[in-house]
Structure 1
Amino acid sequence: MFGVLRAYILIALWQARPGLAGYDVTDAITFSFITQAFIGPMQLFGGGLGIPERIRSGDIALDLVRPASLQLWSLAEDVGRAAYLFLVRGVPPMLLGAALFGITVPTGLGQWLAFLTGFAIGVLVSFGWRYLLALSVCWLVDDRGVAVLSLVLTTFLSGMMVPIHIFPGWLRDLAMALPWAAMVQLPTDLYLGKAPVLETLVFQALWAAVLLGLGALGTRAIRHKVVIQGG
């Protein structure tokens, strides 16, 4: 229902403003259902990692003494979750959108490969961001505040609600330079063939490297000093 409602809103907008942001009506409908398919795999509404609860329970102490990297272990678990949710909660909404409205489909193998690569990097960016939020519980104790802040930022700056391309000039440029665009807007543009492939993938990869690097530093920091609820 959420995807259908968003589709009708975007149809009305593009009928009033044909060609807005370089999209036609079919592109706008496709945007609605592609981004709907990203909600589960990218965990756009937050969560997906069990680290905050393990910090509150004290089980994080066991995780930190294991020979496996906490970050890589969490990443492997998250990638498996994302792949599963893409199949069971991502593909069906896209098929529904295709059946109800008709959507744009990539025209060649190169465009499919670009989209799938961009989607995979987007999952890494999403994990990197959520992992940093999860680690913050070691110092903040309660993650509800940062979770709400993350929800607002991710919802409005990723392209989840409307395409970033229709934002006012300065806000559009800012949003496109931030990591949230790498989660939704850029993979969607690759699917639609609206973005330069190499530049887009490099931009996504840079944000993935930055966030994963910060996560590695954060993991190292919590090994030295951890505050756990309950003692």
Structure 2
Amino acid sequence: MTRTVRVYWRILVAGFRRQSAYVMAAFGGLVANTTFGLLKVAILFATVRAAGGELEGYDVALMSTYIWISQGLLGSINMSGRIEIADRIKSGDVAVDFLRPLDVQGAAITTEVGRAVFNLIPRGLPSVLIGGIFVGMALPADPSAYALGAVSVLLAIAVSAATVYLLVGVPGFWIVETRGLQILYMVVSGFLAGLFVPIWLFPDVLEVAAQATPFPATMMYPVDVISGRAAGLDAVALVAAQVAWLLGVLAVGQLLTRAGRRHLEVQGG
């Protein structure tokens, strides 16, 4: 067990270091995050004020917190649908992965998590800091909210990586081209995760539909925990839901990976 943990730790660190080579790309992402954050401030602040200063529990300060934390998470939560395993399946390189004494799903997701964690440093945290300094935010006074929020963020990153693996990566065993799935994922994931507006502002039917997917666990839930909108047992319940989604997505992904291995055909070479 110790040896296995050590191996996956090294994979995580390798993913972190690999992403650290793209510092200027991270800076570009920070500029984009800040720009779109300011646009969201203008639109959503006007929406709250038009509703009389409060909308489904959101006042201007809490809405600002939602905006900047969600923008900060954007670089670490995979909403593009891009994942390396899809290309490796298409090229046939995944056959080599299956020969290694590592779980293909575990290695792929751990690598993605390492990359995502790095993005929190040059892109995520500065986005939140800029929003807090120039716009202002409402943050909880209870220190435990930040500790639970950190756990929730890590779970969100893991759920995101596992979900992309399941919905975009694994289907490559059965279809030749996954770019269509990637585009569909990019359109759907951001909306249902609560990137554009909080899912609590959705009509009831759409809110229920969103919560029936793992997407809110990748953004909306950690935002609520860190911002203090969900506190105490409510915050614990959201983190528990993230754990449940992670275990469920991993289980289905493992089953499909094994089925895909039996179905895999590599042409030539």
TM-score class, shorter: over 0.9
Partner of 1:149: 184
Q: Does the CA contact (< 8 Å) of 1:27 and 1:104 recur in 2?
A: yes
Taking the TM superposition and a 5 Å limit, the aligned residue runs for 1:201-220 are: 201-220=239-258
Give CA deviations for 1:155-186 in whole Å, capped at 9, x if unaligned: 11110000111111111122123210111111
Q: Does the CA contact (< 8 Å) of 1:124 and 1:208 recur in 2?
A: yes
Q: Aligned partners of 2:63 and 2:121: how far apart in 1?
A: 22
Cα 1:229/1:146, change in 2 over 3 Å = farther
Q: Structure 1 runs of 4+ off > 2 angstroms?
A: 227-231
TM-score under structure 2 length normalisation: 0.82
Q: Aligned partners of 1:57 and 1:68: how far apart in 2?
A: 20
Q: 2:50 aligns with which of 4, 13, 16?
A: 16
Q: Aligned partners of 1:230 and 1:37: how far apart in 2?
A: 44
1:51 equivalent in alignment to 2:89 = no
Q: Aligned partners of 2:265 and 2:124: how far apart in 1?
A: 38
Q: 1:134 aligns with which of 161, 165, 169?
A: 169
Partner of 1:161: 196
Q: Aligned partners of 2:268 and 2:125: how far apart in 1?
A: 43
Q: 2:139 aligns with which of 94, 97, 105?
A: 105
Q: Aligned partners of 2:265 and 2:207: how far apart in 1?
A: 39
Partner of 1:177: 212
Q: 1:67 aligns with which of 101, 106, 127?
A: 101
Aligned residues: 230
Partner of 1:80: 114
Q: Which amino acid aligns with 2:252?
A: L
Q: 1:96 aligns with which of 110, 130, 155?
A: 130
Give CA deviations for 1:22-68 in whole Å, capped at 9, x if unaligned: 01101111111111111111112221x21111122211110011111
Shift of residue 142, structure 1, vs aligned partner? 0.5
1:41 equivalent in alignment to 2:76 = yes
Partner of 1:191: 226
Give CA deviations for 1:68-105 in whole Å, capped at 9, x if unaligned: 11111112211211110111110111111112101122
Q: Does the CA contact (< 8 Å) of 2:174 and 2:263 recur in 1?
A: no
Give CA deviations for 1:92-145 in whole Å, capped at 9, x if unaligned: 111111121011223222101121111111112111111112111111110111
Q: Aligned partners of 2:206 and 2:147: how far apart in 1?
A: 30
Q: Aligned partners of 1:227 and 1:101: how far apart in 2?
A: 54
Q: Aligned partners of 2:267 and 2:244: how far apart in 1?
A: 35
Q: Aligned partners of 1:227 and 1:13: how far apart in 2?
A: 53
Q: What is the SS of the residue equivalent to 2:75?
A: helix
TM-score under structure 1 length normalisation: 0.94
Q: Aligned partners of 1:229 and 1:183: how far apart in 2?
A: 36
Q: Aligned partners of 2:267 and 2:58: how far apart in 1?
A: 50
Q: Does the CA contact (< 8 Å) of 1:37 and 1:94 recur in 2?
A: yes
Q: Aligned partners of 1:112 and 1:226: how far apart in 2?
A: 44
Partner of 2:262: 224
Q: Aligned partners of 1:50 and 1:194: how far apart in 2?
A: 35
List runs of 5+ in structure 1 lacking aligned partners: none
